[in-house]
Amino acid sequence: MRRLIIKFIFLISLVASTYISILYSIFFHTEYLDHTDYMSSIHDKIKLVKSTLSPKIIFIGGSNLAFGLNSAEIQKQLGFPVVNLALHANIGLQYMMDSVKPYISRNDIIVVIPEYEQFYGTYYGQSELLKYLHTYPVGWRYVNWPQQYLNILKYSNLLIRKMLFSKIDNTPKAGGIYTRKAFNSYGDVTSHLSESETDQIIKSKSVNRTRIFKNCPGFNDNAILGLEAFQSYVNSRDAKFVFLFPVRKDSAYQQLYAQHLTVYLKIKESDIEFYSNPSDWIFPDSYFFDSDYHLNAFGRQVRTEKVIKELRKYLKDDPVFYRKHGISRQPFEFTILTSLFPNLLRCGNESKKIHSIGVKEQSYYFYANLISTKFTNAGIEGIRDPEGPYPQWNLPKVRWIDKSCAKINFKIEDRSRVIKLTMSFRPQVRSSAKMLILFNKKALKTYHLTDAENWYTDILYFIAQKGLNTIEFLNEPILGETSPPSSLFMLFKALSLEEI
Amino acid sequence: MFFTSVQYYIFFPIIFLIVYFAENGWRWLVLLLASVYFYYSLDVPYLLLILFLVIVITYTVSLLLEKTEHNGNKRALFLFGIALNLSILLIVKYLPFLTKSINDLFVIIKWDRSLPISQQLFSVGVSFYVFQAISYLADIYTKKEKPEKHFGYFSLYLSFFPKLLSGPIERASNLLPQLHSRYSFDYDNIRCGLLMIAGGLFKKVVIADRLALYVNPVYNNVNDYSGIAFIIATYLYALQLYFDFSGYTDIALGTARIFNIRLTQNFNSPYLSTSISDFWRRWHISLSSWFRDYLYIPLGGNRVGTVRRCYNLLIVFFLCGLWHGDSWSFIVWGLLHGVYLATSVIVKPIKETIHGKIGLENTWILKVWQWFITFNLVCFAWIFFRANTINDAWHIITHMISGTEGVKSLLLSQGTGELVVTIVCLMVMTIPLLLRNKMDSYNYILGKPLLIRWSVYFIIVLNISIFGLFNSNQTFAYFNF
């Protein structure tokens, strides 16, 4: 037995020393480094955060922030200089929080927007933490946790292979979206904003989101503890801690609902202060670029506006914050998306309607849920599959009715329920129309639509009975017509069915 | 906890040390508790309940079988035991598939009825130990074996952790006596076991998982590839599956060997087979011999006429396909092998006459030709085995000779370096197989001089450390079956 143990230890030591020697020689030979790649932008970010005077806003998170924020707009709207430190979720939230501590000063606003995966498996970093440290060796001083060292060891062979293959791989220097040049002077990625719509759609298809969560099987309570500790640290530095949920693709949210809900509930139970909910940050798939977190130009702008609103909420709750520190700020103007995308909300009645139904509905409105996900057993007849968005015509994702009658059938299993039907629609092809909505063969409402430019938004409530229920959208003849055209020609940009 | 996880390499040395220091009389308990913990660590609590049910049913029925004198009652009891075990397997593994298939049938015959489709349960290991339980009952029924009276030893026989998840499907005659035997420290067994574990890990994390990087994109996106890419992916899948499953088996056998237990070998250079029947004597041996002994031979084996024999082969391989999973593609894969074998039964006399007439009998040309045909027939059948759906498999088959779309991007998808490592690894692993048609190449290494032996140890472990894909999230392929 003794002989066996000695031999075994000798072999493992031999292999380990060889391995560490290879790793060491690679780590401290900087000629292997590509100074133009995505990760090397950390040098610029650190320089920026060091040189930015307080009070400043610092954003911490993964690529959901790197790709999805217009820091210039935030700076303009809120009057604070902004530093976006976000790079990659797999650097790990613990490391992100630890490494930003030296740069937090009095009056700063630290906005933490972690990806959901941070609460499952990436909290202590994965391969990207190693890449980060290879690129920025000074960062080793913030590696404080055993789990981080273990992960570094776990992923170290990736680095060795990359270096071993660097000669034969002969890959061109990083180009395209993921480069150091991709970032603007605030730390936001901007290189993807000019990507064509087709490229974006192709790239967004390649995302395998279940694989991401396979890496992270169980909820990591340390992430909550770490966030609470960081919140205390920020407050102790007389700065403001802001926690927001990340943006998420609607389909990803639906698919991984349980994981998202767990994160929300755990945060709710914790001492972490937060105002908005995950559902406020769920955007339609069409707002995303090449991952479930990377927003495209349009999505980025919508998210930026929402972040501005949220930050205002945080700061409004603490008016002393301004007076106490004597910070000058810009007038508190309410800018909504219409200022940037006038055509999207250009309908008088509708915008009123939106405001009357509250913030949640407003956010809902922007990611028009076109039925299938919220009310899973609904069967749809006569309404075409969702398509778009078509930015060239200012159209978000839409569904068409090009039949004279369309139906939504849905089953109620046990007892009668109150159902909410939310719609935003307008005639297409024809300039005016009359649409009758029937519920279980009884007339519910008739709409006289006289403007094909404006969207009509309405919410109807009705009681659905146990069994099969049917909502019908019928074509009615308008003034001067003896019989209606054979098709209704209606375009829906929002169509949602929810149980109340 | 899987064989490729860090936890396993903390778990099993601890168990080894406890077994080493424990009294002989309690070793079964240590191994049994270790097996229970191992299964429990999968975080699927109902799996333990299923295992317990199978153990209790099989144990009780086996004892009753021994006591029952009347032949009719004995037969009924035996069938009852088999039916209970098969029902568990059916409910756990096949119920969703069955209800879905019945619903599909309703649609086809335009009958407005539908059965509620139950949720697919995670059933890792179940089909392996249920088959082991059935073989045990059959051996008791035919009086080949005496039933194990000690509940603990019997439970360990079904749940012994190295073979719990994906076999080998052990016979009572092989495993039970070894579990009963006194443990004594055996340096050679431990040395060989450790080498087998290292070899198995190498096969899995360096070769199989690397091959998966080239296979998965093609088989998961069949519309994006064509022609040559399908052919490359199919050949690579054949190798991936072999290295994956034989890697798993090596780790299982190696672990058991450390506890002085020799499990059944599952592979014997299967891709060097010169006929399909030869292939099934070399591939997943514990399963194929199970089907042979407990199904094919009871159905009549080779003693029946040609037509009946072909029919039996189709039945056996239909069930073999079904055993692998609840999807039609597995069934087609199984049936395809059944057809291969049935055809070979029919054409064998003609073939032999032709070979005799043209003087090819026992020549190396004939051997190479037979190997070539066998290997390609096996690979062709793997298309159904790997494809996500029957439609995907059909798409691959009908587009196999349709150009080179996606080949370059596929081969270079992981970079030239990874491609070179893949090719070198395959060569390193394939050449010795071609040169040495031996079942136990580990003993061959252990018989070499110290310097060579230690060089091999060092190279294997260092290669696993550097080239192992520990983060690829590829579970062992046979965990799905």
Q: Which domains, from first to last, does chain A contain?
A: 28-335 (no CATH), 348-499 (2.60.120)
Residue B442 domain flag: yes
How many domains, chain B?
A: 2
Q: CB pairs under 8 A, 24+ apart, for A151-156? A: A151/A92, A151/A124, A151/A125, A151/A126, A152/A125, A154/B470, A154/B471, A155/A126, A155/A127, A155/A129, A155/A130, A155/B471, A156/A23, A156/A130
* Residues B168 and B222 occupy one common structural domain: no
Residue B165 domain flag: yes
Q: Of B156, B184, B212, which residue constitutes the final position of a domain?
A: B184
Question: Which chain B positions have a beta carbon within 8 Å of A164's beta carbon?
Answer: 417, 466
Position B436 scores a pLDDT of 53
**Mean of all residue pLDDT scores within chain B:** 88
Beta bridge partners of A395: A390
Using the structure block, give the residue that is written with the tokens 């995670």: B122
Position A234 scores a pLDDT of 94
* Residues B248 and B161 occupy one common structural domain: no
Task: Flag whether pLDDT at A163 surpasses 90.
Answer: no
* Residues B77 and B202 occupy one common structural domain: no
A149 at B interface, C-beta within 8 A: no
| pLDDT confidence tier of residue B351, bands split at 50, 70 and 90 | confident
CA–CA distance, B100 with B106 (Å, rounded to integer): 10
The alpha carbon torsion through A313, A318, A321, A322 (nearest 10 deg) reads: 60
Residue B242 domain flag: yes
Across A71-80, A315-324, B328-337, the highest mean pLDDT is recorded for: B328-337
User: How far from B305 is each of A345, B299, B346, CA to CA, in Å?
Assistant: 80, 12, 11
Beta bridge partners of A469: A410
DSSP string of A342-397, one letter each residue: TTTT--HHHHHHHHHTHHHHHHHHHT--BSTTTSTT-EEESBPPPB--BGGGTB-S
Interchain contact, B190 vs A160, CB within 8 Å: no
CA–CA distance, A170 with A427 (Å, rounded to integer): 56
Residue B1 domain flag: no
CA–CA distance, A110 with B322 (Å, rounded to integer): 57
Mean pLDDT of B381-409: 88
Sheet strand arrangement including A456-464: A399-401, A490-499, A417-427, A456-464
Domain hosting B276: range is 189-480
* Residues B172 and B197 occupy one common structural domain: no
Position B92 scores a pLDDT of 85
A206 at B interface, C-beta within 8 A: no
CA–CA distance, A159 with A152 (Å, rounded to integer): 10
* Residues B170 and B287 occupy one common structural domain: no
Question: In terms of CA atoms, which chain A residue is nearest residue B472?
Answer: A215
Indicate the angle between helix axes A2-27 and B450-467, nearest 10 degrees.
50
Mean pLDDT of B12-21: 92
DSSP label at residue A458: E
Burial of residue A51 (number of CB atoms within 10 Å: 0-12, 13-18, 19+): exposed
Cβ-nearest to B466 among A4, A157, A170: A157
Task: Flag whether pLDDT at B42 surpasses 60.
Answer: yes
Interchain contact, A161 vs B416, CB within 8 Å: no
Question: In terms of CA atoms, which chain A residue is nearest residue B16?
Answer: A1
Q: Is B32 left (phi over 0), alpha (psi -120 to 50) or beta?
A: alpha
CA–CA distance, B304 with B301 (Å, rounded to integer): 7
* Residues B169 and B280 occupy one common structural domain: no
pTM above 0.90, yes or no: no
CA–CA distance, B446 with B453 (Å, rounded to integer): 6
Position B406 scores a pLDDT of 76
CA–CA distance, B369 with B377 (Å, rounded to integer): 12
* Residues B288 and B395 occupy one common structural domain: yes
Residue B285 domain flag: yes
B69-121 confidence digits (pLDDT tens): 888 889 999 999 999 999 999 888 888 777 877 878 888 887 777 777 666 67
Residue B121 domain flag: yes
Q: Catalytic: B337?
A: no
Interchain contact, A4 vs B187, CB within 8 Å: yes
CA–CA distance, A347 with A344 (Å, rounded to integer): 8
Q: Of B184, B209, B231, which residue constitutes the final position of a domain?
A: B184
Position A498 scores a pLDDT of 76
Number of Cβ within a 10 Å radius of residue A459 = 16
Mean pLDDT of B370-377: 95
Half-sphere exposure of A317 (CA within 13 A, CB side): 11
* Residues B298 and B334 occupy one common structural domain: yes
* Residues B237 and B377 occupy one common structural domain: yes
Q: Of B136, B169, B184, which residue constitutes the final position of a domain?
A: B184
CA of A350 vs chain B CAs: smallest distance (Å): 43
CA–CA distance, B460 with B199 (Å, rounded to integer): 7
Across A170-184, A390-404, B409-423, the highest mean pLDDT is recorded for: B409-423
* Residues B298 and B232 occupy one common structural domain: yes
Pairing type for strands A433-439 and A442-449 reads antiparallel
Interchain contact, B458 vs A15, CB within 8 Å: yes
pLDDT exceeding 70 applies to what percent of chain B?
95
Residue B92 domain flag: yes
| E strands, B81-201, in order | none
Question: Which chain B positions have a beta carbon within 8 Å of A211's beta carbon?
Answer: 473
Position A344 scores a pLDDT of 33
Pairing type for strands A57-61 and A82-84 reads parallel
Residue in B324, B337, B395, B399 annotated catalytic? B324
CA–CA distance, B473 with B429 (Å, rounded to integer): 23
The H-or-E segment that residue A179 falls in is none
Of A15, A153, A159, which to mutate for an interface test with B (greatest number of B Cβ within 10 Å)? Answer: A15
Position B71 scores a pLDDT of 84
Using the structure block, give the residue that is written with the tokens 């292997």: A32
Contact A139, A87 (CB under 8 A): no
* Residues B155 and B207 occupy one common structural domain: no
Contact A141, A45 (CB under 8 A): no
A282-330 confidence digits (pLDDT tens): 888 778 888 888 888 888 888 998 899 888 877 765 554 554 445 444 3
* Residues B205 and B160 occupy one common structural domain: no
Burial of residue A94 (number of CB atoms within 10 Å: 0-12, 13-18, 19+): buried
Half-sphere exposure of B441 (CA within 13 A, CB side): 18
B180 vs B414: which has the higher pLDDT: B180
CA–CA distance, B42 with B44 (Å, rounded to integer): 6
Interchain contact, B467 vs A11, CB within 8 Å: no
Number of Cβ pairs closer than 8 Å across A and B?
59
B126-159 confidence digits (pLDDT tens): 999 999 999 999 999 999 999 999 999 999 999 9
CA of B200 vs chain A CAs: smallest distance (Å): 17
Contact A92, A118 (CB under 8 A): yes
